[in-house]
């Protein structure tokens, strides 16, 4: 099966350079507020897609267990260092386009700052929908092409691409901004109801961030996030989507081994062996090493 290319973060110091030392406390706090507003207070099994170094993972503490998924093994190793290796966290290296989970498994999912890297957004959302239970909640963050700065630059002739058209814009290789209406349409066509939309980072301007205390900007942003219900002109948008209940069975295995299916042939269950999970249908072996399940490429 061919899948779109992956933006590879293997070996990246993203967490340190972008967040810890990148002057983005304002963006981080505003995300924490949005997540608190959108997340249910409790849940069973959460799927965090493109978790990176686990910056947001502690914010999902209301869920009993959390699958921390990323394509990059080194990002997951950083997440392990941050979160530890309790039963609450299951670390999975996998491509979102080839999710290694049985259908209708999760009652919650988040994908923050990741759609940004997906060349085929509708396919991405379809994969996520497949593994969600009916009535599951899905929180999606995306980079908004219809942001005020892009509009002004376009009107002043400093930017060629049109922020008003529905197509995604790839401004750097494998970095995409999306139109809010397009994202909403994709979600709806998959059976999601968009329950709430919040706009974030109203004040993502270097000068403002330098001269106004972060706490003040965060407070003002938190007041303005609600305006996302009718107008989305900020660089970052959060949507809370739920699946419309269909009377289909949910999958609720108690043993986490039974969460998985073979990403090669879709068979389940997989058989646990000493250092891998074995697919009895296609004979693929998926490594399990140092607490990380690896479903990217089968073992030799």
Ligand X SMILES: C[S@@+](CC[C@H](N)C(=O)[O-])C[C@H]1O[C@@H](n2cnc3c(N)ncnc32)[C@H](O)[C@@H]1O
| CB closer to ligand X out of 72 and 225 | 72
228 binds ligand X (CB under 6 A): no
The binder of ligand X chosen from 34, 38, 67, 95 (CB under 6 A): 95
The residue of the chain with the least Cβ separation from ligand X equals: 52
Contact 198, 166 (CB under 8 A): no
Segment 104-143, which members bind ligand X (CB under 6 A)? 112-114, 117
Pick 9 or 26: Cβ nearer ligand X: 9
125 token code pair: 């959302």
Please enumerate in sequence order all residues whose Cβ is within 8 A of that of 181, keeping only pairs 6 or more positions apart, or say none. Answer: 166
Least CB distance to ligand X at residue 49 (A): 7
Buried b (16+ CB within 10 A) or exposed e, 212-235: eebeebbeebbebbeebeeebbbb
How many CB atoms within 10 Å of residue 206?
8
Our finding on whether 6 is near ligand X (CB under 6 A) is yes
- Check binding of 236 to ligand X (CB under 6 A): no
Report the residue number, 61 or 231, with the smaller CB distance to ligand X: 61
Using an 8 Å Cβ cutoff, are 140 and 241 in contact? yes
CA–chain centroid gap for 134, Å, is 19
Give SS3 for 257. helix
Stretch 49-88: interaction string toward ligand X, x if CB under 6 A: -xxx--xx-------------xxx--x-------------
# residues near ligand X by CB under 6 A:
20
Q: Is 96 in the site for ligand X (CB under 6 A)?
A: yes
What is the C-alpha separation between 291 and 300, in angstroms, rounded? Answer: 20
Inter-residue contact 147 to 237 (CB < 8 Å) = no
Binding-site ranges for ligand X (CB under 6 A): 6-7, 9, 14, 50-52, 55-56, 70-72, 75, 95-97, 112-114, 117
């Amino acid at each position: 099966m061919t899948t779109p290319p992956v933006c590879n973060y293997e070996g990246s110091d993203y967490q340190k350079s972008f967040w810890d030392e990148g002057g983005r406390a304002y963006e981080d706090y505003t995300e924490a507020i949005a997540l608190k507003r959108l997340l249910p207070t409790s849940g069973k099994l959460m799927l965090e897609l493109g978790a990176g170094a686990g910056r947001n993972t502690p914010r999902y503490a209301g869920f009993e267990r959390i699958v921390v998924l990323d394509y990059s093994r080194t990002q997951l190793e950083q997440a392990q260092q941050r979160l530890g290796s309790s039963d609450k966290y299951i670390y999975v290296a996998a491509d979102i386009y080839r999710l290694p989970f049985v259908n209708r498994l999760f009652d919650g999912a988040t994908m923050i700052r990741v759609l940004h890297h997906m060349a085929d957004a509708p396919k991405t959302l379809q994969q996520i929908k497949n593994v969600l239970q009916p009535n599951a909640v899905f929180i999606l963050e995306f980079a908004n092409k219809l942001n005020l700065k892009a509009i002004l630059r376009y009107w002043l002739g400093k930017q060629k691409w049109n922020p008003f058209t529905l197509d995604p814009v790839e401004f750097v290789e494998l970095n995409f901004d999306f139109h809010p209406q397009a994202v909403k349409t994709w979600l709806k066509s998959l059976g999601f109801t968009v329950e709430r939309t919040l706009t974030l980072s109203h004040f993502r301007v270097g000068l403002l961030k330098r001269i106004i205390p972060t706490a003040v900007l965060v407070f003002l942003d938190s007041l303005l996030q609600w305006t996302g219900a009718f107008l989305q002109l900020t660089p970052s948008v959060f949507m809370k989507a739920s699946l419309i209940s269909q009377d289909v069975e949910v999958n609720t295995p108690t043993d986490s081994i039974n969460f998985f299916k073979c990403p090669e042939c879709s068979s389940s269950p997989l058989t646990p062996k000493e250092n891998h999970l074995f697919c009895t249908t296609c004979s693929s072996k998926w490594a399990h090493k140092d607490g990380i399940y690896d479903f990217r490429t089968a073992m030799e």
